[in-house]
Amino acid sequence: MGIFSRRDKDGYDKKGFNKDGYNPQGFNKDGNDEFGFNIDGIHNITGTIRDESGFDEWGKDGGGFGRDGYASNGIARDGYDKDGYDERGFNIDGIHRETRKKFNPQGEDVDGYDKAGFRYLIHRITGTKYDESGHTISGFDKYGIHKKTGTHLDEFDMDVNGKYGLPVHCPKCNSTNHSVIDRFSDAHHTCCMPDLKKDDPPNTKCCSCGHKWYFFHPLFFHQDSFFSGRDKDGIHKNEFNKEGNHKVTGTRYDLEGYDENGFDKKGIHKVTGTKFDEEGYDKDGYDEKGFNRNGYDKDGYDLEGYDKNGFDKDGVHRETKVGYDHNSCPPPKHPEFKKSYRRIGYNDDGFDENGFTTSGIHQTTGTKYDLDGNDQHGFDKKGIHKVTKTKFDEEGFDSNGIHKVTKTKFDEQGYDKDGYWEHDEIHNYISGNYPQGGYDREGVN
């Protein structure tokens, strides 16, 4: 070879191989990648699609777990992710990631049961559709009597079969002999309940006189009444309207001086006698640690510092550790213009925390290597990473920016070694996010 290396500017010889013996696609002269797989995914030793350890060319075993022990969803073989939470967000003690309580935001525990002990209408303890007191999830016993009203109708005048139980009079002849014309016969809606999102209540026909009319019962056609127990005038059963004002006093407080949640003007609860209600929340809905029922503080962040979308205060996502949501396409607007490194950013002088400029030159040495002999991405001159001690960094990229799994410059989530999304240019074009002059960060207009 002589004293001069006959390689191009990218480090490849005239046959297209770098000093480690691999071409830009990651294959050596024998046609195998570093793990021994050829371009067809056949291993050079086993002669099958799996190596001696049972992994395929993408680094997954038969169960879908990678060499690091985790599946693509971040769950390990023991059923938990790196933070100790399962796929539904519960840890081994049954505490949910977001709420920090035994129940998730949907009100289900680690086994899928609600606070009343029901799952799919079956009770946890009895194994039947009745709980220990003999009532269904709707509150009816086997005789069709509701536990709160003591009658065959619940608080909304619905019977055990979900039908409105009070007589409805025809507006023309006052008859109660009528039927509801089936308006849900089409394929897109088969529910027996009216669609609260549409202003099209059931078409009722009087069987006595043939008159047709719309049945405007407040239960069906006022979402406030259906979901929060308010009557047709918006008054709750505790006599507060939906603005929080009491029917009699006209203020936020009732005749005894308590608001609709049971707190007085000093924030003391009428039942507990403390600043917290029976469930442990104050008048503003926060517990003693400062988190609301959904597990977020007043700034909108959970105990780990992430908001409801999984981003911290710097716009870095909980799962991807970069400024984009793992499952979004295009990324959400919250951090979408955060063009940052995976782990670091640049200060006002243009240097990252390791002393490199945006062009990869170290401020002290004046070269592409720092005082320890590592470049901006942590690789030495031999292409060995300072942390992993291999040819790949923690994210799976080599010194040339090629990912070990995808064999391209983008990882499985579509990010390159600098943390840029592979569709940034498309997204910028759609969003109109080009700087003045019409050129993107690569100088393309």
* pLDDT for 444: 41
Q: Does 313 have pLDDT greater than 90?
A: no
Report whether 430 contacts 336 (CB < 8 A).
Answer: no
Find the mean pLDDT for residues 93-120: 92
Amino acid at 379: F
Q: Which of 53-67, 121-135, 321-335 has the lowest mean pLDDT?
A: 321-335
Picking from 103, 429, 28, the residue whose alpha carbon sits closest to that of residue 293 is 103
Measured distance CA(84)–CA(394) in Å, rounded? 20
Q: Mean pLDDT of all residues in the chain?
A: 75
Residue-wise pLDDT tens digits, 347-404? 445 567 777 776 677 777 778 888 888 988 889 888 899 888 888 888 888 988 888 8
Place of tokens 């409805």: 168
Q: Are 253 and 263 in contact (CB under 8 A)?
A: no
90 — pLDDT class (breaks 50, 70, 90): very high
Question: Is the distance from CB of 281 to CB of 271 less than 8 angstroms?
Answer: no
**Helix (H/G/I), strand (E/B), else coil: 224:** helix
- Inter-residue contact 97 to 305 (CB < 8 Å): no
Instruction: Tell me which of 19-23, 164-168, 300-304 is least confident.
Output: 164-168
> What pLDDT sits at residue 282?
92
Kindly indicate the confidence band of residue 5, based on its pLDDT and cuts at 50, 70 and 90: low
Distance, CA of 200 to CA of 93 (rounded, Å): 47
3-state helix, strand, coil in the chain (%, to 5): 5, 10, 85
- CA-closest candidate to residue 273, choices 285, 264, 261: 264
Amino acid 256 reads E
- Of 103 and 411, the structure prediction assigns the larger pLDDT to 103
Confidence of residue 434 (pLDDT cuts 50, 70, 90): very low
Per residue in 196-245, pLDDT tens?
444 445 567 888 888 876 654 444 433 333 333 444 455 554 677 777 78
- Cite the DSSP H helix spans in 38-139: none
Nearest to 121, CA basis, from 132, 129, 112, 111 = 129
The Cα 160–Cα 164 span in angstroms is: 10
DSSP 344: -
Instruction: Tell which wins on pLDDT, 334 or 303.
Output: 303
Residue 406, φ and ψ in degrees, nearest 5: -80, -20
* pLDDT of 342 higher than 60: no
Rounded distance between C-alpha atoms, residue 384 and residue 399, angstroms: 8
- Higher-pLDDT residue of 7 and 351 is 7
Contacts 24+ apart (CB under 8 A), 386-392: 391/20, 391/34
In 3D, which of 319, 321, 317, 290 has the Cα closest to residue 303?
A: 290
Higher pLDDT, 97 or 182: 97
Which residues are within 8 A (CB) of 74 and not within 5 positions of it... i.e. 6 or more apart?
Answer: 81, 82, 319
- Residues 149-175 have a mean pLDDT of 82
Distance CA 255, CA 246 (A): 9
Task: Give the residue-averaged pLDDT of 417-423.
Answer: 65
DSSP 8-state class, residue 238: T
Q: Tell me the range of 128-142, 322-336, 349-363 where mean pLDDT is highest.
A: 128-142
| Lookup: tokens for 351 | 């240097």
Of the two residues 210 and 145, the one the predictor is more confident about is 145
Dist CA 136 CA 161 (whole Å): 12
194: confidence class by pLDDT, cuts 50, 70, 90 = very low
- Is residue 327 very low, low, confident or very high in pLDDT (cuts 50, 70, 90)? very low
- Residue 215 has a pLDDT of 58
The answer to whether the beta carbons of residues 394 and 401 sit under 8 Å apart is no
Query: Nearest-CA neighbor of 327 among 408, 413, 409?
Result: 413
Q: Are 311 and 335 in contact (CB under 8 A)?
A: yes
Task: Please say whether the dihedral angle defined by the alpha carbons of residues 402, 408, 414 and 420, taken in this order, is positive or negative.
Answer: positive
Lowest mean pLDDT among 57-66, 125-134, 146-155, 426-435: 426-435
